Amino acid sequence: MIKIVALPVLLLSFAVSVVSCDHDKNAGQVRAQSSASITPVQTPKLTFPPDISPPPTIDGVRTMQYVKEIVAFGPRPVGSANHKKVEDYILAHLKNDTVEKDAFTADTPEGKLPVHNIIAKFSGTKDGIVVIASHYDTNYPLRNTSFVGANDGGSSSALLLEFANQLRGKPREGYSVWLVWDDAEEAIKPDGSGGLRQEMPFENDSLYGITHLAEKWEADGTLKKIKAFLLADMVGDADLNIERDTNSTPWLEDVVYEAATRLGYQSHFFARTLPVSDDHIPFVKRGVPSADFIDFNYGYNDVFWHTTQDTVDKLSPKSLEIVGGTMLETIRILDKMDPLPRK
């Protein structure tokens, strides 16, 4: 996780307008209409198809074991020997899967650094792709500390490995699912956390891997096939509260809440509403429906975020099950929603 704009709810409309995109403008229009009319504006309600098979399950204990194995390599900042070990570890898990690598050299404030995105593709019967992404690098400015990012980068990367277990070897009656371990998500210069001074605007010095992938997929036409972009980040906190992110696509957030409700997990979702700047932004900007699964209250007032306290003892297998199950249920609902809203 790179950064957040944390503002009181009353200021949200201003905060969201800073990030310019279509649905923000629409929200403004709806507000204007509401104030001019006594009758509340009727927004179209989504119709959710029923589930006709058992709900998806995630092995939380196995996923937690993956988290432990990832952090056991130590800090894994981009360009480091540990980073290469984690990359090989992920690839070893995917050895019998269809894997694509997206490798390039990024120009950063610290010079040129190698960036390696990993994509595992699981084919479905339906035309279109749902992407699930997680960054796997750790915070670069903390590279010389013991920071291992158990929650920040570790929990979600482990969850994607478990998704691969769930998807592997089974026919998918639905969209293709692509798992993306994106790289160099974290800012290279200190990003304002831990009392450090912000030296670079975050979008100019972070999201290197996922931005490259979004640009590449836009150029080769892949982007048009992506029905939804689901992001997991900081999803292992034992005290789990996933945010309603106002930078995510509103209708897709509604699907997420429906999925959580179907599994009985809704009390872990959307108690707070706030705008989050994360790996989904390059896809949001390109009009791909996107949802960020993030709990940005990691310890009281987020005290463990980007500190050496981000360790596995703060996490729980149940939280990984809750987020993982809800992401898979979200895809199951999307598979059956025909047609999907376009934006």
Q: Which spans in 37-97 are helix H?
A: 60-71, 81-93
CB atoms within 10 A of CB 144: 8
Q: Are 246 and 280 a contacting pair, CB within 8 Å?
A: no
Residue 211: CB minimum distance to Zn ion, A? 16
Q: Are 292 and 135 a contacting pair, CB within 8 Å?
A: no
- Taking alpha carbons only, the member of 93, 49, 94 closest to residue 69 is 93
Nearer to Zn ion, 102 or 152 (CB): 152
Q: Is 122 exposed, middle or buried (0-12, 13-18, 19+ CB in 10 A)?
A: buried
Q: Are 78 and 183 a contacting pair, CB within 8 Å?
A: yes
Nearer to Zn ion, 1 or 281 (CB): 1
Residue 186: CB minimum distance to Zn ion, A? 5
- Token readout for 69 is 């194995």
Nearer to Zn ion, 1 or 327 (CB): 1
Residue 236: CB minimum distance to Zn ion, A? 13
Residue 306: CB minimum distance to Zn ion, A? 6
Residue 173: CB minimum distance to Zn ion, A? 36
Non-local CB neighbours of 45 within 8 Å, separated by 6+ positions: none
Name residue 182's amino acid: D
Nearer to Zn ion, 1 or 255 (CB): 1
Q: Determine, following the binding rule CB under 5 A, whether residue 67 of this chain makes contact with Zn ion.
A: no
Residue 307: CB minimum distance to Zn ion, A? 11
Nearer to Zn ion, 1 or 214 (CB): 1
**In the chain, how long is the greatest CA-to-CA distance?**
63
With CB under 5 A, what is the number of residues at the site for Zn ion?
Answer: 2
Nearer to Zn ion, 156 or 330 (CB): 156
Nearer to Zn ion, 4 or 132 (CB): 4
- Token readout for 12 is 């949200």
- Among positions 79-118, residues that touch Zn ion (CB under 5 A) are none
- Among positions 125-164, residues that touch Zn ion (CB under 5 A) are 152
Give the Cα separation of 225 and 117 in Å (integer): 19
- Taking alpha carbons only, the member of 186, 198, 199 closest to residue 135 is 186
Q: Determine, following the binding rule CB under 5 A, whether residue 243 of this chain makes contact with Zn ion.
A: no
Residue 139: CB minimum distance to Zn ion, A? 5
Q: Determine, following the binding rule CB under 5 A, whether residue 1 of this chain makes contact with Zn ion.
A: yes
Footprint of Zn ion on this chain (CB under 5 A)?
Answer: 1, 152
